[in-house]
Structure 1
Amino acid sequence: MLLSSAAVPSAALGQPAQAGAGERGKIMRLLRHMTLEEKVGQLFVVEVYGQDAQTVTETAAAGNQRLYGVSTPAQVIDKYKPGGVIYYTEGRGPDNLRNPRQIATLSNGLQAAATGQRRPIPLLIATDQEGGSLVFRLSAPATAMPGNMALGAGRSAADAYRSAEVIGAELAAVGINQNYAPVADVNVNPANPVIGIRSVGEDPDLVSDLVAAQVDGYHDGGVAAVAKHFPGHGDTAVDSHFGLPEVTHTRAQLEAIDLPPFRAAIDERVDAIMTAHVVLRSVDPSGAPATMSKSILTGLLRKRLDYDGLIVTDALDMRGATSTYPPHVAPVEAVKAGADQLVLAPQMDVAYNAVLDAVRSGQISMRRLDESVYRILRVKLKRGLFADPLVDVELAEKVVGAPGHLADAQVITDRTTTLVKNDAGVLPLTGDPRSVLVTGWGVTTTRTLGEAVRRRGQTVTVLETGLTPSPARIAEAVAAAAANHLVVVSTNNAAGIDATTGLPTASAAAQQALITALLATGVPIVVSAMRNPYDISRLTGVSTFLATYGYTAGAVESLTRVLFGEVNPAGRLPVTIPRADGSGALYPFGHGLRYGS
């Protein structure tokens, strides 16, 4: 089906401030010559199995066959002509990311498949590279920049910009041109199970400043930025991967807390905003998730915030979407609500045909479809993909993990570690030799920390106790502690609360028991929260406590430097640490100790 120029109301397709006459003309010409099927394909962002576009393993072929009925990534592109692809690591299944040369080669192969179609349109190739320890896809040799809450502790917009610029440059070098970052959520709920340290913090002004800086950094690094998760996922107690959370904020709270970072991102001309699978009844009393809510996406985001960039759904295969909307309904409702890109729609054949049928029947108007395709093409044109979508494979190996990037990552991380409590004056440690037990959560974390402490001339024993230490493992740690001069313990969400019972999770309770048992030995104990800084609220009797907001190698090195006084701790809490009994603040926003003051 060809579309006549008269059917495309150009005034509805992009603002003059965002697209010059020449750019609009090019996009309009593309639209006029695209078939309906090609336009619908542009809406979808798919995952593909394998590390090469043409040649895949039996396992990868089976994954593609299961999802799409074809074997290779190139065949997926040929079948659906999607507008985008998202890369994942092996943990998800697709296993796309091994090393810079391989990723760049895969990207080039996918772009060749896309531009080899009847209507050559390059792909938006996306991934989630937020920085920090929780949500990242490219691992070493890629540079591990600090995560959002660490940046919030550092309080530096310049550092936030540089972190995003480095991530963007490394993604662009391997052909990834769209990053699902920065996280613009304001984490005002200490029990939030899915955001936490992925957020800059609890202060909307601080979050706004650093989100704006990251948007600029990603753009200057060479990738499209995607602020997420609109209208705000920072005050939820349910993980939308596994259920449908509800945000109970009033309109006034929404304006004061959740929307400022998105406004800041829009002011910086962010390329895209990702939806959240959350219910927000103060805007949409129907209880529809934001992803499928016209009141939220069109009414609030498009009209109230005057945003005309891409709206990208969070993954449609998450329970926050699938628990309410079956595969043939979710994508149609998302488009009707105002979404442009449909990420990971389950049952691709069903989803694709459902949108196709909805357009043919008039449930989705041709004008509405063209608005979305226009925005998608506009981002591709802005990113220079029509001119040259391919990347230099040799250059990719030099850019990813470049020495300057690694050095900047460590310098920035050194400004984020926060000394929360030092009542016994244990820190900073002298260089005198001593025996140190490094214990607690994380096989890699405790080993890396132990090696770093050993390099400072200490005798080190490493005993990892797991996320949920057993009584037997706690007893081993206690026995080991008695034979050492100092114990350094790492925790991971030791203040975690079960959303159903309101009680500590099993892992939190076990970690608390470990700390209590170690304190009883009388040996000096230093506790470092390697994830959420809230852990101290549940660790009665701890006199020395630090927060790193992550467990990258750089975060562990920074922790060690602070322990030994090589770096004066400069991080300040980007969140309030509440008292466990709910009676107020244990440590206020902005708290942070320094040596010698």
Structure 2
Amino acid sequence: MDISKLSLDEKIGQMFICGFHSLVPDDQIRKLIKDYHLGGVIYFRRNIDELEQVASLSSSLQELAADNGDLPLWIAIDQEGGMVARIDHKKMSRIPGNMSLGATDNPEYSYEVSRISAEEMLQLGINMNFAPCLDVNNNPRNPVIGVRSFGENADKVAEHGAAVIRAFQEKGMSAAAKHFPGHGDTSVDSHMGLATVEHDLDRLQQVELKPFIRAIQEDVDVIMTAHVIFPAIETEPIPATLSRSVLNGLLREDLDYKGIIVTDCLEMHAIAKFFGVGEGTVKAVEAGADVVLVSHTLSDQIEAFEALKKAVQSGRISEKTIDLAVERILSLKQKRIASLQTSAKAPVFLERHQKPEVDRLLKEVSLNSVTLVKDQGQLPLETSEPVLVVWPEVRSETQVDEPWTEVVTLGDALSGFMANVEEIRISAEPKQAEIQKVLSAAASCSQVVFATYTAGSSLPEGQRILAEELQKQNHGKLIVASTRNPYDLNDIPAIPAYLCCYENTPYFMESLAAILVGRGQAGGKLPVGLDEPNTVGAS
């Protein structure tokens, strides 16, 4: 891969990863490859149907790049595991999310499940994963990180993150640690606005930066930037993505990082709303970014390409800056060339029962992750008595939440152990009619299990009201199990029994059901602190 053979347009093209909106190569992605010599592609749910289709799509995209005389593409995805997984298919192993793994307190689990994930994604022609998330989630009201973090202990986040990076890269897949210098202690979602981390540099070194320092020691291929302001590092009120003090000064010079720096998506409001995608692209490259991510809109993507080219032609950015970035890009592509050129034409994908070793491991991880936080004599359930299960559903897609196609509810899972299970499914943000329906059904039931679900910064108001009203009904057994963010107990502290599952995926609901009826033991430890003191699952 010889940079001297590339034109300016081709070099700039290598500095972009872009998304598109179809299951096959459409006009958008064809134009970006043909006219702009695109360096990489990112997949979202909109690009995923059957797994064979994904493998075929990857092959087609690589063939388009080759036919255009371009280098192999990075084909990237946000397959973090748990509640953040773009590929939701029954034949894809449902890898636990970071906080689930953090609750096991066993980095070996993080390594083993990440090896499985990398093997399966490489079969799909995916060669870069925007993971692991190395943010230290020490703010319970963080609206966007939450269970995407391994927890609030920086040393443990570093250990788990290093295990994931090692597993991915040993298999030939590029890992991308994110979101540098740390998005954990924020109360603003950078998809929607600008967040600030006010801590001084000493504190940042001890907490936020520690997992990234470890990732650099693991020779992580890629680090993704955060659209977050860090006044201790950058005096101007600009996010890290656009800060030369953060990217060049701190990451390149102070931490001696040699790999690729990629931006988070520049269409996020923290950049697009305040700076514009085109100007944001130029500022990011000036700051030290090697690769720019523009995930969605063709007009924004073209604006970004043209803005960067104009900046070089005008002398605002030197071609030497471009060359240094592209040399790093070519070096990594050369290093990972085997996986970049691997795109299985007819890969074999199996149901989980056909993968006994994987199935056994994921069951073991889930049991050792589910955390019993509090029990005032509510456990176990009486299997001979009826039980009412309340199950909030994700019914609309947001920037941090996506409905699942394969769902095993807690009611489904409990029905494998108990004969008389009634389940009422409600919205994740229930209105009064749904609340009243549950309360009416619960009035004659002595056992109620409420599987709360929070994707944002606090338990939705309707779920909080429902939990409090169920408590007032004074059931013989009332159990709450959080099935995403573990902080729900902070909003409903009077609940007599509380467990944390960190995700509502099938393995975790099956393990939770076994624990509720006394057929399994919750082995997890809380990876974050709750307001409730002296909790039994505390780390």
* TM-score, structure 1 normalization: 0.84
Letter in 1 for 2:224: M
When structure 1 is superposed on structure 2, of 485-494 and 269-278 the one drifting more is: 485-494
Structure 2: tracts of 5 or more residues without a match:
395-403
Partner secondary structure for residue 395 of structure 1: coil
Supply the RMSD in Å over aligned alpha carbons. Answer: 2.1
Please, which of 74, 80, 84 is the counterpart of residue 124 of structure 1? Answer: 74
Partner secondary structure for residue 227 of structure 1: strand
* 1:94-144 Cα deviation digits (max 9, x unpaired): x211122110110011001111223x3000000000001134334332111
Taking structure 1 as reference, are residues 495 and 520 closer, same or farther at Cα in structure 2, changes over 3 Å only? farther
Taking structure 1 as reference, are residues 550 and 447 closer, same or farther at Cα in structure 2, changes over 3 Å only? closer
Aligned to 1:475: 436
Q: Does 1:33 align with 2:5?
A: yes
C-alpha contact (below 8 Å) 1:284/1:296 kept by paired residues: yes
Taking the aligned partners of 1:247 and 1:589, their CA distance within structure 2 comes to 32
Q: Does 1:493 align with 2:454?
A: yes
Aligned to 1:240: 190
User: Per-residue deviation at 1:401?
Assistant: 9.0
C-alpha contact (below 8 Å) 1:162/1:217 kept by paired residues: yes
C-alpha contact (below 8 Å) 1:170/1:396 kept by paired residues: no
C-alpha contact (below 8 Å) 1:420/1:591 kept by paired residues: yes
Q: Does 1:429 align with 2:378?
A: no
User: Per-residue deviation at 1:446?
Assistant: 9.1
Please, which of 408, 417, 423 is the counterpart of residue 456 of structure 1? Answer: 417
Aligned to 2:398: none
Aligned to 1:525: 478
Taking the aligned partners of 2:523 and 2:276, their CA distance within structure 1 comes to 49
Taking structure 1 as reference, are residues 169 and 400 closer, same or farther at Cα in structure 2, changes over 3 Å only? farther
Please, which of 553, 558, 562 is the counterpart of residue 506 of structure 2? Answer: 553
Taking the aligned partners of 1:326 and 1:392, their CA distance within structure 2 comes to 39
* 1:153-185 Cα deviation digits (max 9, x unpaired): 101111011121111111111000000000000
Taking the aligned partners of 1:446 and 1:182, their CA distance within structure 2 comes to 24
Taking structure 1 as reference, are residues 399 and 485 closer, same or farther at Cα in structure 2, changes over 3 Å only? closer
Taking the aligned partners of 1:290 and 1:256, their CA distance within structure 2 comes to 18
C-alpha contact (below 8 Å) 2:381/2:447 kept by paired residues: no
Partner secondary structure for residue 9 of structure 2: helix
Q: Give the 5 Å matches for 1:297-446.
A: 297-344=247-294, 347-385=300-338, 389-398=341-350, 403=355, 404-423=357-376, 425-429=377-381, 432-442=383-393
Taking the aligned partners of 2:381 and 2:454, their CA distance within structure 1 comes to 26
Taking structure 1 as reference, are residues 589 and 439 closer, same or farther at Cα in structure 2, changes over 3 Å only? closer
User: Per-residue deviation at 1:223?
Assistant: 1.1
Aligned pairs, how many? 524
C-alpha contact (below 8 Å) 1:231/1:275 kept by paired residues: yes
* 1:59-89 Cα deviation digits (max 9, x unpaired): xx5xxxxxxxxx2633431121111000111
Aligned to 1:591: 538
Taking the aligned partners of 2:442 and 2:106, their CA distance within structure 1 comes to 38
Letter in 2 for 1:192: N
Letter in 1 for 2:413: A
Aligned to 1:86: 42
Taking the aligned partners of 1:138 and 1:495, their CA distance within structure 2 comes to 21
C-alpha contact (below 8 Å) 2:44/2:86 kept by paired residues: no
Please, which of 232, 235, 244 is the counterpart of residue 285 of structure 1? Answer: 235
Letter in 1 for 2:130: Y
Taking the aligned partners of 1:342 and 1:487, their CA distance within structure 2 comes to 49
Aligned to 1:43: 15
Taking structure 1 as reference, are residues 232 and 401 closer, same or farther at Cα in structure 2, changes over 3 Å only? farther
Taking the aligned partners of 1:51 and 1:136, their CA distance within structure 2 comes to 13
Taking the aligned partners of 1:103 and 1:508, their CA distance within structure 2 comes to 35
Aligned to 1:97: 48
C-alpha contact (below 8 Å) 1:44/1:341 kept by paired residues: yes
* TM-score, structure 2 normalization: 0.93
* 1:368-412 Cα deviation digits (max 9, x unpaired): 111111111112111124x86142232253599961333322221
User: Per-residue deviation at 1:562?
Assistant: 1.3
C-alpha contact (below 8 Å) 2:391/2:410 kept by paired residues: no
C-alpha contact (below 8 Å) 1:573/1:590 kept by paired residues: yes
C-alpha contact (below 8 Å) 2:103/2:371 kept by paired residues: yes
Taking structure 1 as reference, are residues 590 and 268 closer, same or farther at Cα in structure 2, changes over 3 Å only? farther
Please, which of 155, 162, 172 is the counterpart of residue 205 of structure 1? Answer: 155
For the pair shown, the structure with the greater C-alpha radius of gyration is: 1
* 1:277-302 Cα deviation digits (max 9, x unpaired): 00001000101110000000000000
Taking structure 1 as reference, are residues 388 and 317 closer, same or farther at Cα in structure 2, changes over 3 Å only? closer
